Structure 1
């Protein structure tokens, strides 16, 4: 998106163009562009249609606020979902009045949540367009008096001058998404140097961050939203002890902390529990097994089995129909005998290609079931089961 075209979007004429573009979302792109070009030049037409499309996509992350906010494609992709940002801001700002420096603010999703939680936020980003977008978002949401956004490098901020350092390093390079913290922008060593000078720090990182990159003095929190692991947050400093592992489920703010409990191993019982991904990432399978009074059929696989139907937000529950050694022929026969025509296939610890298996099963029945491909005491196995929702 062109910087000058974006600035024009903020003028009365640009806002009219954007409003007309929003009415054309979903229409044929050529028809929409032709209609706007009758009134506006090519640059403003393109900017308005792009922004209208981004706002429409952003509703999944930002709800009603998306209709007032501004975005860039990469900024929207990396922006924190509003519910997750609000959870983090609530935890960070136990009381109003904190001064926060946001060292790589992007389009401003987190600074909005922090400002709404009562914080005063000074934010920086290296890209002038991104800074303009973040500034426009603070103004559009009535938060301009609590937020300042400037063009600067994260390495130039002075975290020691603030109560809290917040950082969300960019995880994209010219080649696309990166999973290597050393390729973050700013790179991980720069982020850790800023943390070393801060009183408190809150770092948003990818949920798959290699564990060796997590500082020993940090608490690592994995956050799941409606069963999808969205991110990890690293917390350091402050009055409370910041060590260990934690998982949080949203909505509902259910939190589970590491206690060091280890799950026992044992046979598959009447039920199988699939822990939420945040608990798995946080290495809290033992804690979930304790909640459901369960055991691990295989000590290396994050499926739990038990004999009681215990409700917990930390795991999906399935009622076991049959457990078989994995064999395509035997599984096909078992499903045919049950008149199964539709299967939900889950796997963990299995090398089986799910789509190829689905074709090879040649299902033709009228009923549905769930099959879990896994290992049980290191033997390839399949569990035929059915969802067992909370009572």
Structure 2
């Protein structure tokens, strides 16, 4: 969406049109567009409104019903923090006693909404004019939030009374390609990290794939997952990391928020041993944070292989940071052996999980050619260096 389209959308006619559109349905978009043109509406306004309708429908996954009152850009929605995660960001600032947060790369304003929603004063800045305009709309209900179009790094933080800083550097090019070099982020990562010498309460959101070796040693690095999907890496400094530097995983599930943490040095490596009665699959955020050993300790378990993030135990110790399975059988991997095993048990619906193997589940499922009525779950992995099949059922 360009500035002209946004201007038309923000007119009384444009806002009324957006509010009157039916729920987005790709199959009916063309017919709806043609009808609105026949009614004499501006084609550019129609295109902008239908684009917003599509983005709002997509945004429900991140913002729920709040999406219906928001505006979006495609890139802004892609990078925007989920509302549930942004709420956890905001709580860090309030717990640290921060009163005014500068969101230096506010995008469409998702994190700024969460900051303002918990009563913080917010200065939201974005280098992109359209993004800043969209953020202004999204923050319209929060009088304690000010949005500016400009370079966040040029803000005189001290003069503005800022005592907390947040940034989510852009990690894609204008064409949408991912940027992996932190020096090529917008703004560059080192430039943002340099702010902690002025404002110790600094928080950053990065992609979850940043290697541990690239992380500052004075940060709490927290990987976050939502319903099993790893969505971000947060770096928290100074009073925003009250437990000090280290690595942690924040696991957000329908039953609540769960945190697993380690110090800078991390725990001792867990032992490796034979498959027991239960298999535990650590959450992706736990794996990214390198905290599989903590899961092993929690369930009185051991690794099935030194290089594989599966934990096994002889006891059932449910933990919110790992999915537990009961192990029904273990057999060496072999296509004929596995096909015979499953057919003898009348298996027709098969869930295939894998780790540490080159097998492609879709190809294996086709090769097994199962037609039974029963359902089963198998795990393809290495056990002490050997390819094995674990037949399991969720606990």
TM-score band w.r.t. shorter chain: over 0.9
Q: Following superposition of structure 1 onto structure 2, how do residues 368-379 of structure 1 map, counting pairs within 5 Å?
A: 368-379=375-386
How far 1:25 moved relative to its partner?
Answer: 4.1
How many residue pairs get aligned? The number is 385
- Structure 1 residues 55-74: aligned runs within 5 Å: 55-74=56-75
Distance 1:92 1:233 in 2: 13
Aligned in 2, Cα 1:237/1:97: closer, same or farther, shift over 3 Å? closer
Q: Is the 8 A contact 1:72 1:107 kept in 2?
A: yes
Q: Deviations over 1:180-230 (max 9, x none)?
A: 323321122222223343221000011111212210100101111111111
Question: For the residues of structure 2 that align with 1:157 and 1:213, how far apart are their CA atoms?
Answer: 27
Aligned with 2:21: secondary structure? helix
Task: Decide whether the 8 Å contact of 2:272 with 2:384 is kept in 1.
Answer: no
Q: Contact 2:377 / 2:393 at 8 angstroms: preserved in 1?
A: yes
1:120 is aligned to 2:94? no
SS in 1 for 2:195: helix
In the alignment, the residues of structure 1 paired with residue 25 and residue 15 of structure 2 have an alpha-carbon distance, to the nearest angstrom, of 15
What CA distance in whole angstroms lies between the structure 1 residues aligned with 2:326 and 2:309?
Answer: 17
Task: Indicate if the aligned counterparts of 2:98 and 2:164 stay in contact, CA closer than 8 A.
Answer: no
Structure 1 unaligned segments of length 5 or more: list them: none
Q: CA deviation at 1:280?
A: 0.8
Aligned partners of 1:131 and 1:149 also within 8 Å: yes
- Residues 38-70 of structure 1: per-residue CA shift (max 9 Å, x gap): 131111111111111111111111111111111
Distance 1:97 1:183, change over 3 A: closer
Distance in 1 (alpha carbons) for counterparts of 2:67 and 2:252: 20
What is the distance in 2 between the residues matched to 1:194 and 1:281?
26
Whole-angstrom CA distance in 2 between matches of 1:269 and 1:69 = 51
2:370 pairs with 1:363? yes
Match of 1:137 in 2: 138
Root-mean-square deviation (Å): 1.7
Aligned to 1:255: 259
In structure 2, distance between residues paired with 1:97 and 1:307? 47
The Cα offsets for residues 235-280 of structure 1, whole Å up to 9 and x where unpaired, read as 0112834300111111412111116243211100111110111111
User: In the TM superposition, what whole-angstrom CA distance separates every residue of 1:142-193 from its partner, at most 9, and x where no partner exists?
Assistant: 11x2111112123313445521110001111135223332332112222222
TM-score, normalised relative to structure 1: 0.94
In 1, Cα distance between the equivalents of 2:230 and 2:77? 18
Tell me the residue number matched to 2:274.
267
Residues 362 and 138 (structure 1 numbering): CA distance in 2 closer, same or farther, change over 3 Å?
same
Q: What does the per-residue CA deviation read over 1:64-114, in whole Å, with 9 as the maximum and x for residues that have no partner?
A: 111111101111111011000001111221277611111111100000001
Q: Which residue of 1 aligns with 2:21?
A: 21
Give a deviation string over 1:14-49, Cα, whole Å, max 9, x none. 111112334564552211101221131111111111
Provide TM-score, normalisation by structure 2: 0.93
1:76-115 equivalences in 2 (<5 Å): 76-94=77-95, 98-115=99-116
Equivalent residues of 2:221, 2:234 under 8 A apart: yes
Q: How does 1:137-176 map to 2 (within 5 A)?
A: 137-139=138-140, 142-143=141-142, 145-160=143-158, 162-173=162-173, 174-176=175-177
